[in-house]
Structure 1
Amino acid sequence: MSTTETTRVVITESGRMGRVAYARIAPNEDLVQGVEKMCLAEGFRNAFVRGGLGSLVDASLGTRDGGYQQISGPAVEVVSIAGEVRSGADGVPVASLAGIVADTDGNVYGGPFLAGWNPVCMTFEVTLEEWIPDGEEPA
């Protein structure tokens, strides 16, 4: 392998889908932290975000260079959202969410949502589906 080639590691995990939860995240609560709190409340150690509907006061998305972009509202619409939640050995769920948002002028932006920097505007509805890896019991 030459020095310009990169190695890609792929990890495959077997498991099954569990329960489904639909919930509302309240105004001014952070989107990422709200999803994490939902997992705690439902007892989901791992979950996939299957969809969401709502808007944010402002949005903060990560960029490829490790920075971030701030999209000012009010009412930045979330056009699309996807992601997963994984709990560490300490049992604390950590959400990794990415999406596409549109500002009030119709400009579109995409990237990972930064935890603590994406306050919900009115409400945000989200659907979570529990993931239970093989060898693990549901909560």
Structure 2
Amino acid sequence: MKRYHPSAEPPPFIQPRRNTVSEPSTQQVSAKPPPMLNHWGPHGWPRIKAHKSRTIGALQSLRSGALLSEELLRITSGLNVTAGFAELFSGVLSPLHYCVPAAEDGQRCVSFSEDRATEQGHLLYGSATIGTRDQRPFVHSHLHWTDASGRLLAGHIWPETVVGSPAPVAAVFGLLDVDWTSLDDPETSMPTFEPSRSLTKEPLMTDQHSSATVARVLPNQDITEAVLTVSREAGYTKAVVRAGLGSLIGATLTDQRTGEVRYVTGPGTEVITLTGFVRMGAEGLETQLTTTLVDRNGQVHSGLLVPGKNPVAVTFELTIQTAL
């Protein structure tokens, strides 16, 4: 599995600093919502790129000792597709290599932190997008886990991460009609997955497969509004949001226990999970979304997303699946 690594002279737009750390720092929650990001490149269009696809799924335990990314690709290949999305549950990853968001680095508005490592990560949940980059298989994954001392950690996962024992379980859904391709994004100077219609001779939908719509949401678009827009244009009146990963500028969350609204400082947070439902309410289509995300100091936050207050930072890979 290819990784853009400093020792291999990676392109500057994704070159992380290689100092390895294991301790996340702490951060106070901000008292105000995040501002919009003014990326330095030309704006892409449209701001939401969505495609509907049939899906085919598999639920498998990963193989201990193998690379996490290679295991996800193995399962995807077994479905006879090259693109898909995955959810990861329980088990151990050892070692686990990752990074968290970082601020402006002179080349872009947001960037990566130095590399971090957990010797043994006890997985809670994770999301992954599976596709290609440079015509080779490629995986983008965000996870959250606890380490040996019980600390809650989360981040963007590097390909050196290895499946431990007991092995995690993966639910992998292949896309029959859509490709995910990782490209260099001119607007953000970051690598981003782009969906596109794949060439197929079969009808778009058949009774043998379920339906999902995948989308890339571009910077400064509110993620809740994006979910409603994609669902509306796909004709969904009952759907679930699953395996969503990407970045928000910060976050505006509601604590379900107290009802308190909390603000997480940006300029970037990595979203580990975005899950929820879409349904028809008394006033039209409605959604409620729950997220877990990590800020640039390694602090993990969870809560309900406040509609209209959570713009995308760099990109968001969204999956909405019909619920019949």
**Fold match by TM threshold 0.5:** yes
Per-residue CA distance 1:31-58 (angstroms, 9 max, x = gap): 1111011001101011101211210011
**Which stretches of structure 1, 4 residues or more, deviate above 4 A after TM superposition?**
none
CA apart distance, 1:106: 0.4
* Counterpart-to-counterpart distance in 2, 1:41 and 1:25: 14
Q: Which residue of 2 aligns with 1:104?
A: 296
Amino acid corresponding to residue 273 of structure 2 in structure 1: S
In structure 2, what is the equivalent of residue 125 of structure 1?
317
SS of equivalent to 1:115 = coil
- 1:49 partnered with 2:241: yes
Question: Relative contact order: is structure 1 or structure 2 higher (C-alpha 8 Å, sep ≥ 6)?
Answer: 1
Secondary structure of 1:32's counterpart equals helix
| Aligned match of 1:23 | 215
Distance 1:66 1:85 in 2: 21
1:76 aligns with 2:269: yes
Q: Residue 122 of structure 1: CA displacement? A: 1.1
The Cα of 1:18 is off from its aligned counterpart by: 4.5
Find 2:279's aligned residue among 75, 80, 86. Answer: 86
Q: Distance in 2 between matches of 1:50 and 1:110?
A: 16
CA distances 1:58-77 after superposition (whole Å, capped 9, x unpaired): 10110121111100111111
- Give the Cα separation in 2 of the matches to 1:89 and 1:36: 15
Task: Kindly provide the CA deviation profile for residues 76-117 of structure 1, in whole angstroms up to 9, marking residues without a partner as x.
Answer: 110112111111245x22111101011100000101111011
CA contact (8 A) 1:25 1:125 kept: yes
How far apart are the structure 2 equivalents of 1:32 and 1:95? 7
Contact 1:54–1:123, Cα closer than 8 Å, also in 2: yes
CA contact (8 A) 1:78 1:100 kept: yes
What SS is found at the alignment partner of 1:51?
coil
Report if aligned partners of 1:33, 1:95 keep a CA contact under 8 Å in 2: no
Q: How big is the alpha-carbon RMSD for the aligned residues of Structure 1 and Structure 2?
A: 1.4
Alignment partners' CA distance in 2, 1:50 and 1:100 = 13
Identity %: 36
CA contact (8 A) 1:49 1:128 kept: yes
For 2:177, the equivalent position in structure 1 comes to none
For structure 1, the residue ranges without an aligned partner over 5 or more in a row are 1-16, 133-139
Work out which of the residue numbers 237, 253, 263 in structure 2 matches 1:61. 253
CA distance in 1, matches of 2:274, 2:308: 17
> Does the CA contact (< 8 Å) of 1:18 and 1:131 recur in 2?
no
- Structure 2, unaligned runs of 5 or more: 1-208
Contact 1:46 1:93 in 2 (8 A): no
TM-score (norm 1): 0.78
Aligned residues: 115
